[in-house]
Amino acid sequence: MKQYFVLNLYWFLFFSAVASSTSSIIGAAAAAAVEQPSGSPSTSSFLLLELPFRQLLRLQSTHTLIAESKRMIASLDVPTSLAIAGFIFVFCLYLIHIIAFCYSKYRLHHSVLPNSSLPGVSVIKPIVGTDENLYENLETFFTTQYHKFELLFCFHSQEDPAVEVVESLMKKYPTVDAKMFFKGETVGLNPKINNMMPAYRAARYPLILVSDSGIFMRSDGILDMATTMMSHEKMALVTQTPYCKDRDGFDAAFEQLYFGTSHGRIYLAGNCMDFVCSTGMSSMMKKEALDECGGIANFGGYLAEDYFFGRDLANRGYKSAISTHPALQNSASVSISSFLDRICRWVKLRIAMLPHIILVEPLQDCFPSGLIMSFSLNYLTGIPVVPTLALHTAYWITMDFSLMNSMQNKELNFSLAQFLLIWLLRELSAPLVFIKALLEPTIRWRNNVFHLAWGGRILPNKSV
C-alpha cells in the first residue's frame, strides 16, 4: 500500500527544515534591514519582497541574527508566512527524491550467499481466484533456492479454481513441503486475516512470510529476506519494496511506473529514515515477535493489517527493513481503470487511519507542489512563475526516471517517450483519484464492502 507513513515523513522533514531554514532566512532578511537608510521603515511585513535576494543571505553576527529574527517573526504577515512554509514544504519533497534515489543505490540489488544456518521459513499464501499468471507465480515458490521452508496455501473454499493450480504444482514437486487450508477461521472482520489463521497456527518455522498470490519470487528472494532478517537481533519485519515484473502492454507499464516512481520514492525514503512503512504483499516477520503482539488474530479488526503489524512491532522496540530485491507483482489482469481503483482504495485507507493526511496527500505530487513552489518564490523573490514551474517539472521527471531505472536495475521495458506519456497521465490522474476517494469513502475489495472508523478499524458491514 502506498505510503501509510507519508504524513509523518513530510511533517518530520517540514518542521525540521522550519527549525533551521526559516530562522536563518528570515533572520538574515531582518539583519539586512538594519543596513537600510535611516528614512526607511523600521519594520515591514513585506521585507522579503523589498530586499535583493543576495542581501538576504549575507551573514550577520549571532546576536543581531537572533534579535532581528525574533522581531521579524513577530512582524510577518500571513501571506509571507504561507509562502515561506510552501517553499520549505516543496523543498522537503525535493530532498525526499534525493534520499530515495541514493538509498535505492545503496540498498537494492545486492547478491546474497546461501547460508544453511538461517532459520526455516513458513510461507503463507492467501489465494482467491486465478489468472493466467498464477501458475508461473506459485511455481517460483516451489523452486526457491532456500534450504528449509514450507508452503501453506489458504483458500476460502474448496471450489476455488486456484485449488486445481496448487494441486498440479504439488504433484509436480512432491518433495516440497506444501499444504492447503480451507474456510479459514473467523477472528475479525478482515477476510485475509481470517483466511490465513489456520496456516498461521500450523506454521512450523520461526520466520513467517506472507506473500500475495500475484508475487513472482526470485529464486534467491526468500534467502535475501531471511538474510536481512537475521542481520540484527531486534529485526522483526522485512518487506520487499513493491515493484512489478516486466509485462507487455500500456496498462502494465502504467502500474510499473507508479511503483517505480511515486510509490517507490516514499517507500524507500521512509525506510531510510526508519518510518513504519510495511506493505503486506511480500512481508516476512519473526513469529515470536508477532506472537508478542497477539499474533495475526489481534489484527483481524483492521483492513490494512500490514501497517499495523509494522506499527505494533515498532512500538515494542523491534526494527524493520527492506530486503535488497523488490517484490515483483505479476498479475495478468491489469487495466488502468482497475489500478486507479486500487490506488483510490489505498487513499481511502490512509484517510481513515490518518485523517490529517488530507492536509498533505493532494499536495505531494508534481503539479500541485510545482504550483506551490512557483507562487511561493514569486511572492518572496519576484522570480516568474513559469520558469520555476518548468524547472520543477524537469527536476521531478529526471528524479523519477532515475529512481525507476535504479529499481529496474536493467533496461526498461518501454521507451523514454512512453515513460513521459505514462508519467504525465499518472500525475494528472492523481488529483482525480484523491477527489473520488473523498466523495466515495466506502471501500470495495473483491466481493466485500467495508466501512472504516477513524483509526482504520473495520466497522460492521452495512447494506449499500
**Options 224, 306, 365, 400, the catalytic residue:** 306
Identify the pLDDT of residue 68: 67
Number of neighbouring beta carbons within 10 Å of residue 138: 25
Question: Tell me, which fold does domain 121-240+281-334 have in CATH?
Answer: Spore Coat Polysaccharide Biosynthesis Protein SpsA; Chain A (3.90.550)
> Which three cell numbers mark 109?
540489488
d(CA 4, CA 442): 18
Per-residue pLDDT tens digits of the chain, which is 464 residues long: 434 333 444 444 444 444 444 343 334 333 333 343 444 433 333 333 334 433 444 445 566 767 766 776 776 788 988 999 999 999 999 999 999 999 999 999 999 999 999 999 999 999 999 999 999 999 999 999 999 999 999 999 999 999 999 999 999 999 999 999 999 999 999 999 999 999 999 999 999 999 999 999 999 999 999 999 999 999 999 999 999 999 999 999 999 999 999 999 999 999 999 888 888 899 999 999 999 999 999 999 998 899 999 999 999 999 999 999 999 999 988 899 999 999 999 888 888 887 777 778 889 999 999 999 999 999 999 999 999 999 999 999 999 999 999 999 999 999 999 999 999 999 999 999 999 988 888 888 777 888 888 888 888 865 44
- Going by C-alpha positions, the residue among 184, 144, 183, 181 that lies closest to residue 166 is 181
What is residue 62's predicted lDDT score, i.e. its pLDDT? 64
Q: State the DSSP code for 248.
A: S
pLDDT at 276: 80
What DSSP string describes 308-359? Answer: HHHHHHHHTT-EEEE-SSPEEE--S---HHHHHHHHHHHHHHHHHH-GGGGG
Cell numbers placing 435: 477527489
Q: Are 49 and 77 in contact (CB under 8 A)?
A: no
Upper half-sphere CA count for residue 91 (Cβ side, 13 Å):
16
Q: Phi-psi region for residue 458, left (φ > 0), alpha (ψ -120 to 50) or beta?
A: beta
DSSP state letters, 91-132: HHHHHHHHHHHHHHHHHSS------TTSPPEEEEEE--S--T
Strand partners, 421: none
Question: In which element (H, E) is residue 285 found?
Answer: strand 282-286
Residues with Cβ within 8 Å of residue 452, at least 6 apart in sequence? 303, 348, 349, 352, 353, 441, 443, 458, 459
Q: What pTM, to 2 d.p., does this model score? A: 0.83
312 catalytic, yes or no?
Answer: no
Alpha carbon distance 138, 213 (integer Å): 7
- Match 517573526 to its residue by C-alpha cell: 73
For residues 154 and 206, give the distance between their C-alpha atoms in angstroms, rounded to a whole number: 19
Residue spans of the domains in the chain: they are: 1-107+345-438, 121-240+281-334
Q: What are phi and psi of 106, to 5 degrees?
A: -75, -40
Task: Give the HSE-up count for residue 390: Cα atoms under 13 Å, Cβ half-sphere.
Answer: 5
For residues 344 and 433, is the Cβ–Cβ distance under 8 A?
Answer: yes
- The pLDDT, as a whole number, for residue 1 is 41
Closest CA to 273 of 85, 16, 86, 88: 16
* Angstrom distance (rounded) from CA 311 to CA 43: 48
10 Å CB burial of residue 121 (0-12, 13-18, 19+) is buried
CA 248 to chain centre: 25
CA separation for the pair 278, 289 (Å, rounded):
15
Nearest one of 292, 188, 176 to 236, comparing CA atoms: 292
